[in-house]
A and B are shown apart, each in its own frame.
Chain A
Amino acid sequence: MSAYDRKAYKMDLSRAKASLAELMRKYTVVAPVMKDGRLDYAEISDVDDVVLDERLPYKSPKEVVFPRVEDVMRFLENRAEEAQEIKPVLLVGAKPCDVSALRVLDEIFIGDKGRFKDSFYQNRRNCLTVVGMGCQEAKPGCFCEERGIDPAFSSDCDGFLDPVDGGLVYEPLTEKGEGLFPGTETEPVRRGPEAGTAGPKTETDPTGEGGKRAKKLEIDASEAEVFTTMPWEAYTEGCIGCGTCTYICPTCHCFNLRDAEEKGIVTRTRVWDSCMYPKFTLHAGGHNPRTKKFERFRQRVLHKYLYIPENFGLTACTGCGRCIRSCPGGLNIRNTVSDIMKRLKESKEPAEAKKTEEAEI
């Protein structure tokens, strides 16, 4: 579909807020709001609380499909049944890194490459509509572009909002996204190669040429090549095992199932777990395959950059930078992966490197 076939709608901010207020009657609307001085995705009760600008909310929006704590099942006399409370949810203002992360979760939980479909995730995903919005500014720690994500646009959502002079332009991208934000018909905002510029301008990339970035940041190797040969202890030195990285990450999805009985009814709840916790892999008999923190960080990095790509076809990291910004120990997944690739390259081409060195002298 060329740019000229797509429809978009322009509206001013007050019109946009009025549309949101209407939508609140049909959906639970989750959008960025300021709470105690911090920007976060949250369920809105007042449309004036919504902040639609270039800033990335602190936490990821994954709770719309993967809540921190969720009753999923209950046991009755003769059967076990689903116990989720599902309502239609509209996520507005999701940044491209977060939209891509939802796609990663979709592939893992309900995609065709998995042998099973996670019904609890599916139930929530069916009722979710996503409206994206771009970032105009990369922040320290962000590396979405290195992950091949365009911070200004994502086509993986149901509709996309672009701020323009005097308001917003809304472009529906799927059937679900039609009619959400009515306005004056207009041409969709030109982006990327269509607009003649490669990508958005950033502090470190003032001409926007970075959009043409050549090589994506991924681990292009087998387990055997990186499992024991890389300096994992050095990468993990400052880790205190707090698990903040996994909580704040938009693609982390490890979980536990817990039972509780109250007044004769047993409810099974799904709760987040973290591979960075020492007891994540603790067996009942006392054996624990990952007792050292570098083993756990290695699992986290390789799960995202090797194991999930191998099993599901995509890298489970969207470069949002949240784990890097929030880690009190200074761990940095981007630098770790980058260092691994550098070492692999050097180990494979020592002869080449030496030749170049000699030539330079």
Chain B
Amino acid sequence: MSDKNPYLPSRAVILEVIQETRSDTQDVKTFRLKLDEPFDYRPGQFVEFSVPGVGECTFGFASSPLIKDYLELTVKRTGHVTEHIHMLSPGSTVWIRGPFGNTFPLEKMEGSDLFYVAGGLGLAPLRPMIDYIFDPANRGKYGKINMLTAARTPGDFIFAYDYEKWASMPDTSFFQTIDSPAEGWDKFVGFPHTLIDKIPFDINNTFAILCGPPPMIKALSGAFLQLGMSPERIYTTLEMRMTCGIGKCGKCNIGHRYVCIDGPVFSMAELSEMPGEY
């Protein structure tokens, strides 16, 4: 435990702002930042992002830790603080503290196949892991990779500029789905949990990594469990209201777990033992 005050953020500068989507349902931007003093992090972790005078918010990292020149955070305009974040432009100073939270158990997953399923903004916290594993230094440690990303409409997909790259990765299949049929759409239609049996994967040697709205997670994990997957092989990352991020203020308690310390990454096995207060 270092002596550094965990509440004091470090300064960063916005390099670029990427408009991911703008539809009736969501306004999402990705902020590419450079910290004055970069720090290391692992996929699954999060930061507390301050707009001084306005407030502080929790965001999961959205870019691979192997990228040293910058880090990315993907922000949906939802409330008071995110509205102010969306008004920032390249050159603005921001304040970040972290990394906090636990991480996806990447070592445990070595040798297995991976099946990512993400809904809407849920793709963002998975992206560090996705890109980390796609790096040539790591790709060989994992088997077949399936990716299914879901969005309401064709215009609601985030990181669309990465899809071609991911689809062409070794031993990787990439799928997209939308809620209801749209003109010109020739890919999957329907909720993700109705599609997983259409995608071939080895039920006994796969880890499922899910992220999205709670009803989607519940439906998906139910579907995987029904197909015979063990709950210890299904992972998700939770969202909770946080303030301190370091296990003191009590806001993110789910049962005896603190989402900021014991999470945000949890396996279905762990979640099934926790009260449903999230």
B8 touches A307 (CB 8 A): no
Name the distance in Å between B35's Cβ and chain A's nearest Cβ: 13
B53 touches A280 (CB 8 A): no
B154 at the interface (CB under 8 A from A): no
A127 at the interface (CB under 8 A from B): no
CB neighbours of A283 from chain B (8 A): 239-241
Known A119-B6, A259-B54; judge A254-B258 contact (CB<8 A). no
Known A80-B9, A307-B255; judge A261-B53 contact (CB<8 A). yes
Q: Interface code B242-278, partner A: CB below 8 Å = 1, 0 otherwise?
A: 0110111111010110100100000000000111011
B256 touches A257 (CB 8 A): no
B54 touches A117 (CB 8 A): no
CA distance A266 to B56 in the complex (A): 13
> Which of B60-68, B78-86, B132-140, B171-179 is near enough to bind chain A?
B78-86
CB neighbours of B273 from chain A (8 A): 223-224
CA distance A285 to B27 in the complex (A): 13
* Residues from 160 to 192 in B contacting A, C-beta threshold 8 Å: none
Instruction: List the A residue with the shortest CB-CB distance to B56.
Output: A257
* Residues from 200 to 249 in B contacting A, C-beta threshold 8 Å: 239-241, 243-244, 246-249
B7 contacts which of A73, A114, A281 (Cβ < 8 Å)?
Answer: A73
B23 at the interface (CB under 8 A from A): no
B7 touches A259 (CB 8 A): no
CB neighbours of B261 from chain A (8 A): 115
A311 at the interface (CB under 8 A from B): yes
CA distance A116 to B56 in the complex (A): 19
A109 touches B82 (CB 8 A): no
B251 touches A289 (CB 8 A): no
A254 touches B251 (CB 8 A): yes
Q: Interface code B1-20, partner A: CB below 8 Å = 1, 0 otherwise?
A: 10101111101000000000
CA distance A289 to B277 in the complex (A): 5
Name the distance in Å between B259's Cβ and chain A's nearest Cβ: 11
B247 touches A115 (CB 8 A): yes
Q: Interface code A262-281, partner B: CB below 8 Å = 1, 0 otherwise?
A: 00001010000101000011
CB neighbours of A289 from chain B (8 A): 240, 277-278
A336 at the interface (CB under 8 A from B): no
A303 contacts which of B247, B253, B274 (Cβ < 8 Å)?
Answer: B253
B55 at the interface (CB under 8 A from A): yes
CB neighbours of A290 from chain B (8 A): 277
Instruction: List the B residue with the shortest CB-CB distance to A255.
Output: B249
Name the distance in Å between A311's Cβ and chain B's nearest Cβ: 6
* Residues from 187 to 239 in A contacting B, C-beta threshold 8 Å: 223-224, 227-228
A170 at the interface (CB under 8 A from B): no
B256 touches A73 (CB 8 A): no
CB neighbours of B5 from chain A (8 A): 82, 119-120
Name the distance in Å between A301's Cβ and chain B's nearest Cβ: 12
Instruction: List the B residue with the shortest CB-CB distance to A256.
Output: B243
B1 touches A281 (CB 8 A): no
A258 at the interface (CB under 8 A from B): yes
CA distance A159 to B246 in the complex (A): 32
A227 touches B239 (CB 8 A): no
A120 touches B7 (CB 8 A): yes
A254 touches B250 (CB 8 A): yes
Instruction: List the A residue with the shortest CB-CB distance to B5.
Output: A119
A359 at the interface (CB under 8 A from B): no
CA distance A266 to B249 in the complex (A): 22
B95 at the interface (CB under 8 A from A): yes
A285 contacts which of B9, B79, B246, B253 (Cβ < 8 Å)?
Answer: B79
CA distance A260 to B52 in the complex (A): 8
A118 at the interface (CB under 8 A from B): yes
CB neighbours of A108 from chain B (8 A): 248
B248 contacts which of A73, A78, A253 (Cβ < 8 Å)?
Answer: A253
CB neighbours of B53 from chain A (8 A): 75, 259-261, 266
A306 at the interface (CB under 8 A from B): yes
A307 touches B256 (CB 8 A): yes
Instruction: List the A residue with the shortest CB-CB distance to B214.
Output: A287
CA distance A36 to B244 in the complex (A): 37
B246 touches A281 (CB 8 A): no
A244 at the interface (CB under 8 A from B): no
A310 at the interface (CB under 8 A from B): yes
Known A257-B244, A259-B55; judge A116-B1 contact (CB<8 A). yes
CA distance A284 to B239 in the complex (A): 11
CA distance A120 to B4 in the complex (A): 11
A281 touches B247 (CB 8 A): no
CB neighbours of B255 from chain A (8 A): 223, 227, 302, 307
CB neighbours of B277 from chain A (8 A): 281, 289-290, 295, 299
Q: Interface code B79-107, partner A: CB below 8 Å = 1, 0 otherwise?
A: 11110000000000001000000000000
CA distance A227 to B257 in the complex (A): 14
A116 contacts which of B52, B246, B253 (Cβ < 8 Å)?
Answer: B246
Known A224-B273, A283-B239, A285-B78; judge A306-B256 contact (CB<8 A). yes
Known A116-B6, A281-B251, A285-B78; judge A78-B258 contact (CB<8 A). no
CB neighbours of A25 from chain B (8 A): none
B79 contacts which of A115, A254, A260, A284 (Cβ < 8 Å)?
Answer: A284
Known pairs A80-B8, A82-B5, A273-B251 / 16 extra A-B pairs, C-beta < 8 Å = A73-B8, A75-B53, A114-B247, A115-B261, A119-B5, A119-B6, A223-B255, A228-B275, A253-B250, A254-B249, A261-B53, A266-B53, A281-B241, A283-B240, A299-B277, A311-B256
8 contacting pairs across A/B (C-beta < 8 A): A80-B11, A109-B248, A223-B274, A228-B275, A257-B56, A281-B251, A289-B240, A299-B253
